[in-house]
Structure formats: structure tokens, C-alpha cells
Amino acid sequence: MTRIDAKFAELNAAGKKAFVSYVMAGDPDYDTSLEIIKGLPAAGVDIIELGLPFTDPMADGPTIQLAGQRALDGGMTMEQTLDLATEFRRVDDTTPIVLMGYYNPIYSRGVDRFLMDAKLAGIDGLIVVDLPPEEDAELCIPAQAAGLNFIRLATPTTDDKRLPKVLQNTSGFVYYVSITGITGSAEAEATNVGPEVARIKSKTDLPVIVGFGINTPEKAENIASVADGAVVGSAIVSQIAEGKSVNEVLAFVKSLADGAHRA
């Protein structure tokens, strides 16, 4: 059982929905990023989604693209991203960390080396958005063999013919993208999301977490009420981009987490 599996078992036993927060590793700089990440569990975050900075993040909107650019401009690397996770694990050994990114940096490091290093750093799962199920032998299956969950995205365009393929080797949870388009580009609506979550849940026992288009505590509550939890990324990253203090960022995160936990 991974930390992700254990977290969902704990939430399920308590009758609670999950709140997942996304932050870009190294944004606005390594030390501030580490301070924010260390504060996330106390702010109510159940699972941390940690962005791996990359030069061509095709699924991400301008907010997260700029966060990645700030991190890269500050010298952030794969090595330092794993160091962030390692440092976090010195103070928290239970909160799951999902590394979200693209395949190129992983391929450059070498899959075997990357998986070994990620496991040692305390990473629990991977979201690699540019590797479709047809490429599972590349990273997904080796990751699962190494004890890491491989989390797949389903979208409004994932029809009933495609869905079984998407779910085939997915573990940990299913990430449902609530809108068509990039992160931060539109708002999620529970009336649209609910039936899609139900459709996915009819095909899998995995929790279904919804992200994209969630930017207020009310929206987090509404979306979590029709799913197993909610993910917020761009809205949190925007607070960091605006130069808010660590405490201000964490207070905003807590308001979102409280919303999701009310569902």
C-alpha cells in the first residue's frame, strides 16, 4: 500500500473528501518553495502535487507555464526537485507527494535511475501527461514495479471506447480534467462534472479527483461534493506569482482545503 492508498483509506474511513494542492517546485525560489510545501499539510492538504519544471509544458496554461519559467530561471533542476521532496520527508513521512511533469526530463535522466531516485526522495506517484497508455511499457509499468502509483488523466473527451485503455494500468487515483483546454482557462461546473465522475466510477474502484477550473473555496466544495476530492493549482500558483507571503499563500490554501472538506 502506497501513501496515496493509505491516505484515501483514512479519508474514506472519516467520510471526508480529498484536497490536493499543486505547487511548482522552485517557484519563486527553492527556499520559499520548500517553506510553502512544508506548510501544506497543516493547511489541510491531503496530497501534494509537485510540479517538475519543464520548458514546454503543453497541458499547462500561462499561470503554471510562468511558474515553471521562474523556477527554471532560478536554476531549478530535476535534482533540486527531488531534494525538495527529500527535505519535506524529514518533517513529514505520511503526506503523499505526486510528481507532475513531462517525460523529457525523466527520459534524459534515465527511467531506472529516475525511479530509484524518486522512490528514495519519498515520491509516491507520477502524473506524466505526455505519455499515453500506448506507451505504458516506457514508464508506467516500471514505475508500478518500483512501488510508485501512476496516475492517469481522463478528460471530457475520454469516451466509453477510450476509457478502459486509460484506466488499464492506472493506480492511486484517477485525475479527471473538468474542462477541455489548459489549466486556468475556464471554471469547473459540478453539474457537468458529476455525471462524468459517475461514469468513470462505474468502470473503476479507484478514487476520482477533479482538477482544472477550481479557484475558490465554494468551487472546491461544489466539485468535491460530486467526486472523491478536488485539485487546485493555478489559483495557488497565482498567489505565489503575486508575491504573497508564505503565510498568506498557506492561508489561501487552507480556505480551499476547508471548502473541499465541507463537501
Residue 249 CA to chain centroid, in angstroms?
A: 17
Order of strands, edge to edge, in the sheet holding 208-211? 149-150, 125-128, 97-101, 47-51, 18-24, 229-232, 208-211, 174-177, 153-154
Q: Are strands 125-128 and 149-150 parallel, antiparallel or unpaired?
A: parallel
Dihedrals phi, psi of 159, to nearest 5 degrees: -80, 180
15: left (phi over 0), alpha (psi -120 to 50) or beta: left
Which residue of the set 27, 46, 60, 124 is catalytic?
60
- 60 is known as an active-site residue: yes
Q: What is the mean pLDDT of the segment spanning 37-59?
A: 95
Flag whether pLDDT at 180 surpasses 80. no
Cβ contact 241:69 at 8 Å: no
Q: How confident is the model at residue 120 (pLDDT cuts 50, 70, 90)?
A: very high
| 218-254 pLDDT tens trace | 999 999 999 999 999 999 999 999 999 999 999 999 9
pTM reported for the whole predicted model: 0.96
Query: At 257, is the secondary structure helix, strand, or coil?
Result: helix
Which residue of the set 5, 27, 46, 49 is catalytic?
49
